[in-house]
Structure 1
Amino acid sequence: MAADHKKYIPLCIGIAAAIGILIGGKLNFTDSSDKLFGNNSKKDKLNRLIDYIDHEYVDEVNTDSIVDVTVNGILDNLDPHSTYIPKEDLQRVTENMKGDFVGIGINFYTYKDTIVVIRPTEGGPSFKAGIKSGDRIVMANGDSIFGRQWSNDDIVKKLKGERNTKVNLKVRRKGEKELLSFDIKRSDIPIKSVEAAYMVTDHLGYIKLNRFAESSYKEFKKALTKLQNQGATKLALDLRDNLGGYIGVAEQIIDEFLEDDKLILFTKNKKGKIEKSYATQRGDFEEGDIYVLMNENSASASEIVAGALQDNDKGTIVGRRSYGKGLVQREMALGDGSAVRLTVSRYYTPTGRSIQRPYDNGNKRYYEDYYKRLRSGELSNDENIKVADSLRFVTPQGKVVYGGGGIIPDIFVPLDTSVQNETLSYIEERGYISYFVFEELDKDRDVYQDVSKEDFMKHFEVSDDVVIRFQDYLNFRERTRVSFVAYHDQIKLMIKAALGQQLFGDEAYHQILNSSDDMIEEVLLLNKGE
């Protein structure tokens, strides 16, 4: 995630999060606004009911909230991915999918009721002004912004603003007797889509893509070019936990891998109109080998990428069956600052597959599918994946593929239960490792002043003493003993990754965790002897 957000407290990536990150922006209605929004008895009934409540109901009622409930109730009867975006959420959602926002460029979290800078965005306004890791921001434009009454949203509102406007920050820095003052001019801050891009071997590159936003293709292209210049002829594209985004951005990325005129996908709307998308002459990795890493949280545009490559007999899909979302949404304003993302078509992979999971049993059952997969054993054994023979398709080279609920990988990698252990997940979700690492680092940051990223990656090891201190820290925070005796090596890896992230950024974090990653290991096995 990008600056000005509570980035370094790890979040549990739940299946229901897919509601918020949806495909949009491809299709347009051809009906005129008069035709779409003309008077009819159904609309008159709703309007009349709201008016009766407004003017005649015995108690005072917030009719805005009634309208919100009504809109959500209507959408709940459509499909799981048609969603309502209240006006107070629309800016945040828009920024997330646009790929940038206006701010001061810091990664922070609230530590002991005070804003602590984890890292200023390199090259951003705070970085240029001299803000450093470990700084505590205590005032903004003369207002104190510390204490329990300040939520993260309140803090972000103070720090964000109009482009080229200034905010004065008062900062407490360790070793300085007086508060430091900084005048910082707000500017565009990117929300990164590419979290990591590095060489795994002399010929295998790795790119971690977390969304398909407006800026994602440019980031991806820049990362791909960098890796090719370093000798990459093979690429591991990590789409795990990528919930999707814009369909057009997915098409641009696929175009880098597919030969000219290969079908990428097609969509079909309510009227049966079909629109097809084909690869163009553009594409700088058509000769390279591609491996797509997916899991049960890879959805939407991620599945478009995997499906297009699989159906064109290009590359290898590695991991577990993906989420299963084959619907296309378009965002439409509702006139009061809110919006709705309405499903306007279905998309199909080149062989004609729809990978949309059934939603006939209601939204609740739909979003509980993850737990159903876990109970059935599908996440640990691909033989437990249920497929319908009626949804069987064949690629041009004779590979059998299936529709009806996600992309089934070519190479199955079971869920790593040591990494997904409940205790470790709990520790990570609560942010304890990030907090602990920050405190350890804050004792003496000068220790790492001359340490390069490469030296840290190769030679730094987390000692047993650090693990013991973390155990004591955890017991103190939880007021009870939390045992992770069987997972000391994993805890060491997680501590090193968090430290690498706070010192060097996201790429170091992924590079460290990937050094003990089952899917990466599977890709390396497929390239054994290169």
Structure 2
Amino acid sequence: MNFQKKYIPLLLGIGIALGVFIGGKLNFSDTSDRLFTSNSKKDKLNRLIDYIDYEYVDQINTDSIVDVTVNSILDNLDPHSIYIPKSEMQSSTDNLKGDFVGIGVSFYTYKDTVTVIRPIEGGPSEKAGIKGGDRIIMANGDSIFGREWTNEAIIKKLKGKKNSKITLKVYRPGEEELLTFKVKYSDIPIRSVDAAYMLTDDLGYIKINRFAESTYKEFKKALDQLQDKGATKLALDLRDNPGGLLDIAKQITDEFLENNKLILFTKNKVGKIEKSYATRRGDFEEGDIYILINENSASASEIVAGALQDNDKGTIIGRRSYGKGLVQREMSLGDGSAVRLTVSRYYTPTGRSIQRPYDKGNNTDYYNDYYKRRSNGEFENPENMQISDSLKFTTPNGKIVYGGGGIIPDVFVPLNTSRQNETLNYIKRRGYVSNFVFEELDIDRTIYDHFSITDFIENFSVSDALVERFQDYLNLKERTNISFVNYHDQMKTLIKSELASQLYNSSTSEQIINETDTMIEEVILLSKANETLDN
């Protein structure tokens, strides 16, 4: 099976959908008179839609025509100007807002039943007493199990207004009677910080998955805790981070740069330039900083990496980033839908644009750039990167940096493209490990009750028998004959990481995965080498 061609990388293209979002909003109904004047082009479009609505021989939904028209217009602009239909606005807004109103459970439908994987830490379901493995059978007296219940229908049924309550009937394995829980709807955070812990005695680690409204507060809390533990160096992991809010990226960058250092500047269509500078409030200006990026690190992630690189601060580690240097502003269209339109370009402090080239109206090649870069061998060898000498810039300390498509790291770490690694990535993307681990835990969760998080990380070992059971499970699902002989240890790490995710939290899971991560190993080596040089 050719995994490279057949399956799209897990987070490829998320940067396109999320991007750098400037944060300001316009409302079409409120500002149309100010922003737009009446002209024949708009009259022409309106008259055509009205003509179809009133005279076309068949019944047709003119809303769908409008959607197609808007998308067609935006497709002829740039790859990052997008239309968000009404049906997608809530999830899009929640993703940038950083929280939503809910009951606070991670679940999936197991054998036609809503099954709790894990209640969100500190959330209303955990406070009410709901546990991993519980089956939610009824909500406010209505049954919510059976084949007819899709995930969308379940989520809709479990939604409610903040501070109101929902009564849940729950089946818990081992209990004879259904349990009743009254759960209060609350703000549920969508975590931006996946992990925060100490890699060594003085080297902290923080992984950020996107830049939402809550991200800076999460990051600052994690940074303060690591500094209290003795962190004088920090590894900031922005791999696979598609970006988000521009202001949040600037706030995080400000933590590392001295007062009045330029973070970035933007330029709009008329050439107006707006510059953003660091302030006095940074708490990590003296510490060593290592930024981890890869080919899926986009927009806001590139702002952080580019600002630090251009100010000769810290070390950028990994592979060339996505290459998105366009800024969007959202405008409501009055019917619950919105457009995020590119309104300016951003530039790093040396003046380079890291937006990779695109042809207007031809986004296919732009979206397929990942495959082009991979086939060129760029992910395995930095010598294969296509760089233009005309886009060469120099930092204050004389370091050469390049524009024209992504941030090029100071220290290159190749992508593991072995067949074994491709197979493991495929298994993860398909969710087989997650489902298998859930079923294992469902047999008897109590065997893990005596493990603290630290004890689990340091002392728990996945048995050979467990790996063999997963191998049998996978071969049954795939109807194939995959063997883990050549990567037995890697499979143990994957299973242990998923166990940690379902038993504890994402931070514990990341910590286990990172124990065998080559980029993390490189950071630790560089940190120790720099320490030797300083001494």
TM-score normalized with structure 1 length? 0.96
1:6 corresponds in structure 2 to none
Q: CA deviation at 1:16?
A: 2.2
Identity of aligned residues (%): 71
Q: Could you report, residue by residue, the CA deviation over 1:330-364 in whole angstroms, capped at 9, with x for unpaired residues?
A: 01100100000000000000000000011117111
Match of 1:22 in 2: 19
* Shift of residue 124, structure 1, vs aligned partner: 1.1
Question: Contact conserved, 2:19 with 2:324, CA < 8 A, in 1?
Answer: no
TM-score, normalised via structure 2 length? 0.95
**Within 5 A, what are the aligned runs for 1:21-420?**
21-26=18-23, 33-360=32-359, 362-418=362-418
Once the 2 structures are TM-superposed, how far is the Cα of residue 26 of structure 1 from its aligned partner? 4.8
Distance 1:246 1:507 in 2: 23
Instruction: Give the conservation status (yes or no) of the 8 Å contact 1:423–1:484.
Output: no
SS in 2 for 1:527: helix
Find the aligned partners of 2:510 and 2:419 in 1 and give their Cα distance.
14
Change (3 A) 1:167 1:32: closer
SS for the counterpart of 2:528 is: coil
CA distance in 1, matches of 2:439, 2:96: 33
**Which residue type is aligned with residue 18 of structure 1?**
G
**Change in CA separation of 1:347 and 1:198 when aligned onto 2, cut-off 3 Å:** same
Alpha-carbon shift at residue 27 of structure 1 (Å): 5.8
Spell out, residue by residue over 1:429-473, the C-alpha distance to the aligned partner (whole angstroms, 9 max, x if none). Answer: 111101111111111111111211111101111111111100111
> Could you tell me which residue of structure 2 aligns to residue 489 of structure 1?
489
Q: Is the 8 A contact 2:332 2:339 kept in 1?
A: yes
Q: Helix, strand or coil: the match of 1:23?
A: strand
Deviates more, 1:446-455 or 1:36-45: 36-45
Counterpart-to-counterpart distance in 1, 2:216 and 2:419: 31
Q: Is the 8 A contact 1:418 1:487 kept in 2?
A: no
Q: Once structures 1 and 2 are overlaid, which stretch shifts more, 244-253 or 145-154?
A: 145-154
How far has the Cα of 1:14 moved from its partner? 3.6
Check whether the contact 1:416–1:518 (CA below 8 A) recurs between aligned residues: no
The residue matched to 1:498 in structure 2 has which SS? helix
Letter in 2 for 1:356: Q
C-alpha contact 2:11 2:240 (8 A) present in aligned 1: no
SS in 1 for 2:316: strand
State the match for 1:447 in structure 2.
447
How far apart, CA to CA, are the structure 1 residues paired with 2:25 and 2:104?
Answer: 35
Whether the 8 Å CA contact 2:291–2:315 is kept in 1: the answer is yes
Distance 1:496 1:394, change over 3 A: same
What is the one-letter code of the residue matched to 1:13?
L
Conserved 8 A contact 2:258-2:285: yes
Letter in 2 for 1:192: R
Pairs within 5 Å for 1:439-478: 439-478=439-478
CA distance in 2, matches of 1:16, 1:239: 15
CA distance in 1, matches of 2:412, 2:279: 31
Equivalent residue letter for 1:481: N
Equivalent residue for 1:480? Answer: 480
SS at match of 2:149: coil
* TM-align CA RMSD: 1.7
- TM-superposition CA deviations, 1:256-294 (whole Å, max 9, x none): 000000000000011110000000011000000000000
Q: Deviations over 1:280-338 (max 9, x none)?
A: 01100000000000000000000000000000000000000000000000011001000
Q: Distance in 1 between matches of 2:419 and 2:87?
A: 36
2:54 counterpart SS class: helix
Contact 1:467 1:492 in 2 (8 A): yes
The alignment partner of 1:490 has SS state of helix
Counterpart position of 2:3 = none
Match for residue 524 of structure 1?
A: 524
Q: Is the 1:90–1:337 contact (alpha carbons within 8 Å) kept by the matching residues of 2?
A: yes
Q: Which amino acid aligns with 2:150?
A: S
* Pair 32,467 (structure 1): closer, same or farther in 2 beyond 3 Å: closer
Match of 1:25, SS state, is strand
Note the C-alpha offset of 1:138. 1.4
Name 1:7's counterpart in structure 2. Answer: none
**Secondary structure class of the residue paired with 1:207:** strand
Amino acid in structure 2 at the alignment position of 1:152: N
Q: Is the 8 A contact 1:424 1:484 kept in 2?
A: no
Inter-partner Cα distance in structure 2 for 1:291 and 1:18:
22
Using the TM superposition, name which of 241-250 and 360-369 deviates more.
360-369
Q: Is the contact made by 1:23 and 1:330 (CA closer than 8 Å) also made in structure 2? A: no
Other structure's SS at 1:59 match: coil
User: Which stretches in structure 2 are left out of the alignment for 5+ residues?
Assistant: 1-7
Q: Which amino acid aligns with 2:499?
A: L
TM superposition shift of 1:29: 7.7
Equivalent residue pairs, number: 521
Q: Shift in Å at residue 139 of structure 1?
A: 1.2
Secondary structure of residue in 1 paired with 2:456: helix
Corresponding letter in the other structure for 1:401? V
Q: Is 2:102–2:188's contact at 8 Å kept on the other side of the alignment?
A: yes
- Rounded to whole Å, the distance in 2 between the matches of 1:109 and 1:186 is 19
1:109 deviates by: 1.4
C-alpha separation between the residues in 1 aligned to 2:419 and 2:189?
31
Deviation at 1:482, TM superposition (A): 2.7
- What amino acid does structure 2 have at the position aligned with 1:15? L
1:195, CA displacement in angstroms? Answer: 0.8
What letter corresponds to residue 340 of structure 1 in structure 2?
V
Local SS of the residue matching 1:321: coil
Letter paired with 2:222: A
